Amino acid sequence: MDEPKKKYVHEGRYVVEVEVLLVEDGTEWSPYLSVEDAYRLDDAREALRRGDLKSAATYGPVYELRSVTYQ
């Protein structure tokens, strides 16, 4: 049974939330990503590295990280 999950790809000050399916097949390797989902994560990361937020957003919501200082 495949289980939908959200993976977060972080690069620099941005994060993209990518939906993937974890494949459960009862073997020692379970759960694992399909090759296609692994490539999607790689492509999302590469888009963030290039600073291409429009392309990164095709994989899921893009968030900007900022530090919070408590005093």
pLDDT tens digit sequence for 6-59 = 999 999 999 999 999 999 888 888 899 999 999 999 999 999 999 999 999 999
Our CA angle for 22, 26, 29, nearest 5°, is 60
pLDDT computed for residue 14 by the predictor: 97
Task: Show me where the domains of the chain are located.
Answer: 2-60
Q: Which residues contact 36 (CB under 8 A, 6 or more apart)?
A: none
Phi, psi of 57 (to 5 degrees): -70, -15
Q: How far apart are CA 8 and CA 10, in angstroms?
A: 6
pTM tops 0.75: yes
Q: Which residues contact 12 (CB under 8 A, 6 or more apart)?
A: 48, 49
